A = this chain, B = another copy of it.
């Protein structure tokens, strides 16, 4: 089976590396050799240097997409260019020509998976690497759990954010120092906003949710909050009360509706997913027959991603083809409507920085009760400095709109020092 790699960056080189080094076991499992014969690259000289280590016979490097795409001797194309528009164009062209494609491109799938599903009806199209790197979660959800109604998916899908939060929690680092440490180790980009803002996790959540629910939502349709505003105060509270703070991607089904949301959350330490630390990813899935199952592993990196890409290639060699999103009838609709953010029901943690003066708590709790927030716990530490103090509340389950309104009203009061902050508490 001859393959072309479109884009020879970190992951592309990882795929080459594993195909060459694990060739014998891959051939035994695939039933035939998977031979890289061409790559589409940006810089020929750099690419030549990169592949020098591998003794590749008859391997073509080209900067011209057409030159590679139009070759009839290539059986499968591996798209690792990244971005949305160019890959969309290339993959559509290939699928229309019935050429199998494997991709790791989550952004492309977050926006255009419905269109690709139609094109891939009779042509293999693998995207295991697009969610949670080396964890075979697409396969687990689409095939392993196919007998279940999926009740909930809770994922730690962004290693950068989890690394930062873990370092804040375990080493007491401030957010900006933990981010700096992540950047030094190559876990965070120079501009980290895509990761720490929750957008990367949201893309992955949308892919998982379409398999679980056949719901075609877009990133703009769902709640996305990042971890930028988590402070040492929040870490203190979490530790004191037995919580971990994680950036969670959640899909949660009720009778006729579905919540899709990405945000930081307080999670009891006893939950399995709360124990997932550092750059690792994990996805907990609740099915109506199977109960909870969890999938844990490396969510990024050249080799783990290559592991997923090549598993798709081996499936294609084995002539295994699941329906792309797990449904034979691609026109099927879930019938579920998305829950609006305002209507989300949750328990909340509230952190308020206020002047330490008479009547403040009364005013705060007054606003809360007028907006139907019922208090579950309250913490104010004895304050020696006498100037400002931080007060913490947790609420019983209440409506998000009521929480935001309360925080806005409280934020307008003179005794408030900085913008009131909330984190959802996940059960």
Say whether A329 faces chain B, with CB atoms less than 8 Å apart: yes
A297 x B293 contact (CB < 8 A): yes
Chain B residues contacting A289 (CB-CB under 8 Å) are: 14, 18, 22, 134, 303-304, 306-307, 310
Report chain B residues within 8 Å CB of A175.
none
Q: Which of B28, B296, B309, B323 sits near A293, CB closer than 8 Å?
A: B296
CB within 8 A of A323: which of B304, B309, B318? B318
Q: Is A86 on the interface with B (CB-CB < 8 A)?
A: no
Contacting pair A147 B306 (CB below 8 A)? yes
If A30-B328, A318-B323, A320-B322 touch, does A145 touch B307 (CB 8 Å cutoff)? yes
B residues less than 8 Å from A214 (CB atoms): 28
The number of times this chain is found in the oligomer is 2
Interchain CB contact under 8 A, A144 and B139: yes
State the CA gap A99–B115 with chains docked (Å): 37
Within 8 A of B (CB), among A278-319: 287-298, 303-304, 306-311, 314-315, 318-319
Is the CB–CB distance between A314 and B135 below 8 Å?
A: no
Chain B residue nearest in CB terms to A309: B147
Q: Are A298 and B293 in contact (CB under 8 A)?
A: yes
Question: What residue of chain B has the Cβ atom nearest to residue A296's Cβ?
Answer: B294
Q: Is A29 an interface residue (CB 8 A)?
A: yes
Residues from chain B with Cβ under 8 Å of A329 in the complex? 28, 31
Asked whether A143 and B294 contact (CB < 8 A) given A22-B149, A289-B307, the answer is no
CB-based contact B307/A298 at 8 Å: no
> Nearest-CB distance from A278 to chain B (Å)?
11
CA distance A25 to B332 in the complex (A): 11
The reply on A340 being an interface residue by CB < 8 A is: no
- In the assembled complex, the Cα of A318 lies from the Cα of B325 at a distance in Å of 13
Q: Is the CB of B290 within 8 A of A328?
A: no
> Interface 1/0s, chain A 2-44, versus B by CB < 8 A?
0000000000001000100010011011111000000000000
Q: Are A136 and B143 in contact (CB under 8 A)?
A: yes
Q: Who on chain B is nearest to A314 by CB?
A: B146
Residues of B within 8 A of A146 (CB): 26, 29-30, 310-311, 314-315
> Within the complex, what minimum Cβ distance (angstroms) separates A361 from chain B?
38
Q: Residues of A with Cβ closer than 8 Å to B?
A: 14, 18, 22, 25-26, 28-32, 128, 134-136, 139-140, 143-149, 214, 272, 275-276, 287-298, 303-304, 306-311, 314-315, 318-323, 326-329, 332
Q: Can you sample 18 A-B contacts with CB below 8 Å?
A: A18-B289, A22-B149, A25-B148, A29-B146, A32-B328, A134-B289, A134-B291, A136-B145, A136-B293, A139-B144, A143-B320, A147-B309, A147-B311, A289-B304, A289-B306, A289-B307, A290-B298, A320-B320
